[in-house]
Chains A and B, each alone.
Chain A
Amino acid sequence: MNTYTLPDQTGHFGIFGGRFVPETLMKAVTQLEQAYLEAKNDPVFQSKFKRLLEEYVGRATPLYYAENLTKYAGGAQIYLKREDLNHTGAHKINNAIGQALLATKMGKRKIVAETGAGQHGVATATVCALLNLECIVFMGEEDIKRQALNVFRMELLGAKVVSVTSGSATLKDAVNEALRYWVANVDDTHYLLGSVMGPHPFPMMVRDFQSVIGSETKQQFLARNGRLPEAVVACIGGGSNAMGMFYPFIEDNEVKLFGVEAAGQGVETAFHAASLTKGSPGVLHGSLMYLLQNEDGQIQEAHSISAGLDYPGVGPEHSYLKESGRAAYRSVTDEDALEAFQLLSKVEGIIPALESAHAIAFALKLAAEMGPDKNIVVCLSGRGDKDVDAVKARLEGGNR
């Protein structure tokens, strides 16, 4: 077993990561890093965090043995880590609570966040309502149209949603605007970044807050089976649910780690979000990571049926784990994800988020290649209520 200690003190995972931000933000990211390192070893902070996860979010989430899905796949045993049962319906709340507590610890009462589909925005708005923090969420104009219900949810929770019209008016541009806002309001505002990306310490901090997923999974699986699973599977946009699942297993080399990217209409087309499969290293949003970019280093638009995976980059730690070979990265098309979405609904009575449906689709293939004495845990990162309209339109529209 190798001891895994990344990132290093400067926030790098091998060549990846770092702090590629304008000088105006250096003070804030340095301050954030210090505050986080203190909080990490502060029993008061940790007990507050744990209490909110238990009483407010509803943790621990169950590890569910999906017998029907296992039968359907006809191979390895499949377990689902039920992050969909969290308050607000996805894993995003774990990180939102951690960072909002940290913001109050730093004396910052204003929160800015970006959101794509709206899940991170809703989680952030929820925590801000709970802790009485001012909340501004930047969201691409396109996404606002596609996710009108989530916009209303955030407003109901007291957040101000700002429409982003610059660039491609999607998640990447929402991050740009949130960063610009942060640069201009850095004294009293914390940027509550939703994934394992951005400048150090965000990738490390978000991973740590999300690693409750993997820690619980490990304990629950051990308690039930007296051993560890052969594989864990999670979907990857920026990569926060996957990193939270992988991290506690990272030194257990017998456990294979699989990240599943969105192949959209196919990785051989121009319409996908498979940054690790088809991208190359570059610098965006504060970090060196795998990106979808053209040969001139201009960032390209990502495409996926799932708005949460629709991002042209992937966290630096995943970029590192790909190169080191510790984790393997695969991709699943819109079509296969849609099929898995319907299948899980029918056979298990669980409607998964479209993001998580990518992980399910890959796990089915993986399970079929493995014997029944083997075990796979899939991170079911969120529930699919938010997606039923889009799926209905897609299925009825015959656009298959």
Chain B
Amino acid sequence: MNVVERAFGLVKEAGRKAFVPYIMAGDGGLESLTDRLILLEKFGATAIEVGVPFSDPVADGPTIQRAGIRALKGGTTLKGIIAELEKAREAVSVPIILMTYLNPIYAYGIKSFVKDIQRAGVGGCIIPDLPLEEESIIAPKLEEAEVELIRLVTPTTPIERIEQIASKGSGFLYAVTVKGITGARNGFDEELFSFLQKTKEVSSIPVLAGFGISSPEQISHLTQYCDGVVVGSKIIELFNNNDLKEMKELMSALNHSSKMA
């Protein structure tokens, strides 16, 4: 069983919801990556999404764009990130999921990339500009290496397609909460809840909501309809402001809410 699958299995068994924070590798210096991973694990992360900075992140809003620019200015490379993750392996036991646009992987070489992340103990991969139609470029190699390809579904995805994507699914299904890019938002529309419910119904793997989630209230509300959340821009902001207290509160809000549920 893959590490991601196992981690989500444990959360489910305990009757809890998953919390997956996203951080941008190299934001705050690549040398701080391991410390941040350790901290997030301590705060109760189910798994941690590690973003790879890219010059042209079309799915991301201003917060993650800026974090990526900071990381690139600091000289962060995919090679450096993988090396750092390999070193972090001893200190961090929650699964690491690499989130990267396709081009850095393509330039790295798809075969070497898969081999190297497997060796570094990476449990999964999210590639936001790789839809089902194009995934054969890397999916078979990831499967062979037992690295989960985490697929996305969105409110514009027709139900038959959600079913199709869910049936391929490994790890968890990443349900994008908004028609739009990443970044904190004040509210969600009603359609979202029916989308999450529909997705839950057709998916045999856990469904996590992500994009635009930033407050404990949103998290409690959303997790009534799915198995957990991914929080990105907010976590980046909190690291950037060094506000660890709020980060801890945000991440424990979930366990609190799920105990109530």
Contacts and interface: CB of A to CB of B under 8 A. Distances in A.
A217 B57 CA distance: 40
Interface residues of A, number: 39
A166 B58 CA distance: 11
B181 A184 contact: yes
Interface in B194-218: none
Interface in B58-110: 58-59, 61-62, 65, 72, 77-79, 101-108
A296 B78 contact: yes
> Which of A28, A166, A280 gathers the greatest number of chain B CB atoms within 10 Å?
A166
A22 B59 contact: yes
B107 A184 contact: no
Contacts, number: 115
A187 interface: yes
A172 interface: yes
B56 A23 contact: no
A295 B59 contact: no
A110 interface: no
B156 A284 contact: no
Contacts of A299: 55-56, 103
Contact of B102 (A20, A180, A293): A20
A344 interface: no
B219 interface: no
A222 interface: no
A26 B65 contact: no
B20 interface: no
B24 interface: no
B163 to A, nearest CB: 14
Contacts of A166: 62, 65
Interface string B90-134: 000000000001111111100000000000000000001111111
Interface in B156-209: 156-158, 161, 176, 178-181
Interface in A23-60: 23-28
Interface residues of B, number: 42
Contacts of A25: 156
A26 B155 CA distance: 11
A18 B129 CA distance: 11
B77 A296 contact: yes
Contact of B131 (A23, A184, A296): A23
B156 A28 contact: yes
A184 B155 CA distance: 11
The 3 closest A-B pairs by CB, nearest first: A297-B107, A184-B180, A297-B104
13 contacts: A19-B134, A22-B58, A22-B152, A23-B176, A24-B156, A24-B180, A291-B103, A293-B107, A296-B79, A297-B54, A297-B106, A297-B108, A299-B56
Interface of B: 54-59, 61-62, 65, 72, 77-79, 101-108, 128-134, 151-158, 161, 176, 178-181
Interface of A: 10, 18-28, 166-167, 172-173, 176, 179-180, 183-187, 280-286, 288, 291, 293, 295-299
Given A285-B58, A296-B108, A298-B54, 19 more contacts: A19-B133, A19-B134, A20-B134, A22-B152, A26-B131, A27-B158, A28-B156, A176-B57, A176-B58, A180-B180, A184-B178, A184-B179, A187-B156, A282-B107, A283-B101, A284-B56, A284-B103, A296-B79, A297-B107
